[in-house]
Amino acid sequence: MGAKRHLPAIVLAFAAIAAALLAASTTGYLGCGAGTKAEAHQPSPLAAARLATLPGVSETNRRPAYPDLGVLAGRLLFAVQRELFAALAADGFADLSPRHGAVLAYLGPDGSRATELARLSGQRKQVIGVVVDELETLGYVERRPDPGDRRAKLVCPTARGLAMISASGRILAALEDRHAARVGHREYAEFKRILTDVTDHQRRAPVIGPSTIGP
């Protein structure tokens, strides 16, 4: 029950990277809006306002006074990953790496199709296939026939996979409880609600030009 209850926390942690990568890939400057090539090198009005708060710095080399969404999302993701995977290694799951989260973070107890894992994680199906191959070799998942469609396969967690998901839920629950105790449980719940909304909205945002990230 613990793993099922806290699975959204795992999803949130890995979903945050979508915003970070998208922000970094649309322009050469985090905080700029996506537009023409010339516009891509100009800060957005919000970023410009932040830049203006830095006295004595020329317009060409000013940095934002406050980290933008992509920077914050990346920092949060990597910090959560660092704590999560260190704790998992101490629990006997040292053979896992953050890349495996593209599958494990979204894997249902009864199994999931690779196409569904790709959709939820924002990764290409080919990437998911490679990760599933690795996890199958490590003994965390196995492919089984889909009862609803004999032509399809389900990626299902093994006993070791379920144990890892349960451990992840416990670790992330403790991490979130620590932050909630620090900032206040009501404030933290509101933070999670807003962050989830921003993440979902950003993942639905249209991408201008070809994208090499996600489906």
Instruction: Please state, as a whole number, how many other Cβ atoms lie within 10 Å of the Cβ of residue 140.
Output: 26
For domain 2-30+68-204, give its CATH number from 1.10.10.10, 3.30.420.40, 2.40.50.140, 1.10.540.10.
1.10.10.10
Instruction: Please state, as a whole number, how many other Cβ atoms lie within 10 Å of the Cβ of residue 97.
Output: 11
| pLDDT above 60: residue 60 | no
| pLDDT above 90: residue 91 | yes
**What is the model's pLDDT at position 67?**
82
| pLDDT above 60: residue 110 | yes
Question: What is d(CA 80, CA 82) in angstroms, rounded to the nearest whole number?
Answer: 5
Task: Tell me how far CA of residue 166 lies from CA of 81, 93, 128, 175, in angstroms.
Answer: 16, 12, 22, 14
Q: What is the mean pLDDT of the chain?
A: 77
In the chain, domain spans: 2-30+68-204
| pLDDT above 70: residue 152 | yes
**What is the model's pLDDT at position 151?**
83
Q: Please name the amino acid found at residue 2.
A: G
Higher pLDDT, 16 or 64: 64
Q: What is the pLDDT of residues 163-199, one digit of tens each?
A: 999 999 999 999 999 999 999 999 999 999 999 999 9
| pLDDT above 80: residue 57 | no
**Secondary structure (DSSP) of the chain:** -HHHHHHHHHHHHHHHHHHHHHHHHH-SSTTPPP-STTGGGS--HHHHHHHTTSTT--TTT---SS--HHHHHHHHHHHHHHHHHHHHHHTT-TT--GGGHHHHTT--TT-B-HHHHHHHHT--HHHHHHHHHHHHHHTSEEEEEETTEEEEEEEEE-HHHHHHHHHHHHHHHHHHHHHHHHH-HHHHHHHHHHHHHHHHHHHHS--SS---S--
| pLDDT above 60: residue 107 | yes
